Structure 1
């Protein structure tokens, strides 16, 4: 099954809703690329969590838009949303109970059919109602997946520069998709610590997200290196790991990390954590 290629034929004519759809397409493509990967289960879990977060957020945003523009088929559309969201939640619940019970390839047929039919069929029905309706567009723009209103308190995702350090390409792409989904455009990807140090030496990085295990290296060594640099002392650093134990968390924080999260991650949890770290450091982007 091929990856999904976005085309203008899939546009509903509302940029912010199209952006949501592109994020959902990218997440499904991330899932496609993870089939057979050595960390397939970790990637699958994060994609399913992100799909659950983005579907809930996107459906709520769409329904708010349709409500404002008095779309006559709102209730029927909402029922469809609830059904689709439940199917995603059920997949994630099966994964949570037994990670080996769900494979990436088993999800792809459903997700491809779900997304393409949803965008190219049902969503096109409301297109004429929302295009050129400024109140509806404003309502959409004031909603965010994190609950943080765009530009609230000077906070702006599109001014943030993030370095993602992980030796697994598929997981790097998942994190990139999540960040791009809220408007982060300055994203740097490193597959090892040498690449990460080079990017940090070049300057301009506003936040670091690193895996604990980066190949045969340790992300904690990168954290220690960062904290030993006076120019990087206040740089927010989040460490990710597939093992959530108190001792693991304590070790990451003792090394100088600001926060620790267990894989698989949720999109909303990751973004809320990153936003909080930026504000705690007093360095609003």
Structure 2
């Protein structure tokens, strides 16, 4: 069973509650990736995202604590470091040998640590952070994408994204990553005909497609997009693939893709890639 967010977990700071929901969502994706056809790509992507989001969230939380002079900041930083080290260890094992880390290995630790941390340690700072005038401003200055010019220019809540992948779990991982920066309009389809129907009917800002969509190829979708009317032909397309050779990037770009990214993905790199492509098309 996955973890379900409840109001008892709320620390009373919407920004931090949102971060906690993202972390819980990623842990739940690990649960769902057990036995998945692309388990290793999913596990690697979630571990990478957890590593990045944990660092991002902890930095925001600690900046808020600094702003309100929270007296237990040093102890809190220690618990953050412990969690980050454990996730980094899982990630290092995975990088060295993809078969050495199964989703089930991570779940007990992640579930117990995060829930205990939110429901006990984090509750201690509620009265210090809630309503503090400088705390939220300090947190807002910490960006997952590093505050790059391109990412800063993207109006994430207004972005319209189409995900094309026959792996439903991986679509949800992508949805969680995009949703964490405020993207609200995300469509997901699992075959090329459905993708073409959405592209033909809806206004979109970017398409993110897997190379292998069932028995079909995402490259065929790219070629179809480029043959369309001007608005469609200029639609940015990012191709993802877990079957890597150096030639694959070249093939994807030759087919008309704007960018190619290898699975397991980095959440930060995905967002930076989307920002670059959307900014280029604007």
Alignment TM-score, normalising by the size of structure 2: 0.97
Any idea what the Cα deviations from partners look like across 1:41-100, whole Å, max 9, x if unmatched?
111010000000000100011000000010000011011111110100000000000111
Residue segments in structure 2 that go unaligned for 5+ positions in a row: none
Residue segments in structure 1 that go unaligned for 5+ positions in a row: none
**What is the number of residues matched between the two proteins?**
281
Query: CA shift at 1:139, angstroms?
Result: 1.2
Cα 1:71–1:150 change in 2 (3 A) is farther
Map residues 240-255 of structure 1 onto 2, 5 A cutoff: 240-255=240-255
User: Are the equivalent residues in 1 in contact too, given 2:151–2:275 (CA < 8 A)?
Assistant: no
Correspondence for 2:259: 259
Matched, 1:208 2:207: yes
Query: CA shift at 1:39, angstroms?
Result: 1.1
In structure 2, distance between residues paired with 1:82 and 1:214: 39
User: Are the equivalent residues in 2 in contact too, given 1:94–1:101 (CA < 8 A)?
Assistant: yes
Correspondence for 2:101: 102
In structure 2, distance between residues paired with 1:149 and 1:219: 29
Query: CA shift at 1:236, angstroms?
Result: 1.1
Map residues 59-78 of structure 1 onto 2, 5 A cutoff: 59-78=58-77
Query: CA shift at 1:144, angstroms?
Result: 1.6
SS of match in other structure, 2:134 = helix
In structure 1, distance between residues paired with 2:152 and 2:233: 24
In structure 1, distance between residues paired with 2:121 and 2:194: 45
User: Are the equivalent residues in 1 in contact too, given 2:145–2:151 (CA < 8 A)?
Assistant: no
In structure 2, distance between residues paired with 1:25 and 1:46: 15
Query: CA shift at 1:150, angstroms?
Result: 10
Correspondence for 2:12: 13
Correspondence for 2:33: 34
User: Are the equivalent residues in 2 in contact too, given 1:150–1:156 (CA < 8 A)?
Assistant: no
Any idea what the Cα deviations from partners look like across 1:94-113, whole Å, max 9, x if unmatched?
00001110110111001101
SS of match in other structure, 1:44 = helix
Superposed CA RMSD in Å reads 1.4
Correspondence for 1:175: 174
Correspondence for 1:140: 139
User: Are the equivalent residues in 2 in contact too, given 1:24–1:54 (CA < 8 A)?
Assistant: yes
Query: CA shift at 1:231, angstroms?
Result: 2.0
In structure 2, distance between residues paired with 1:235 and 1:188: 15
Any idea what the Cα deviations from partners look like across 1:241-283, whole Å, max 9, x if unmatched?
01332210000000000000000001001001110111122x1
In structure 1, distance between residues paired with 2:51 and 2:93: 13
In structure 2, distance between residues paired with 1:192 and 1:144: 34
In structure 2, distance between residues paired with 1:8 and 1:231: 44
In structure 2, distance between residues paired with 1:266 and 1:25: 18
SS of match in other structure, 1:163 = strand
Any idea what the Cα deviations from partners look like across 1:107-130, whole Å, max 9, x if unmatched?
100110111011111111111100
User: Are the equivalent residues in 1 in contact too, given 2:150–2:276 (CA < 8 A)?
Assistant: no
User: Are the equivalent residues in 2 in contact too, given 1:55–1:85 (CA < 8 A)?
Assistant: yes
SS of match in other structure, 1:134 = coil
Correspondence for 1:79: 78
Matched, 1:237 2:237: yes
User: Are the equivalent residues in 1 in contact too, given 2:153–2:279 (CA < 8 A)?
Assistant: no
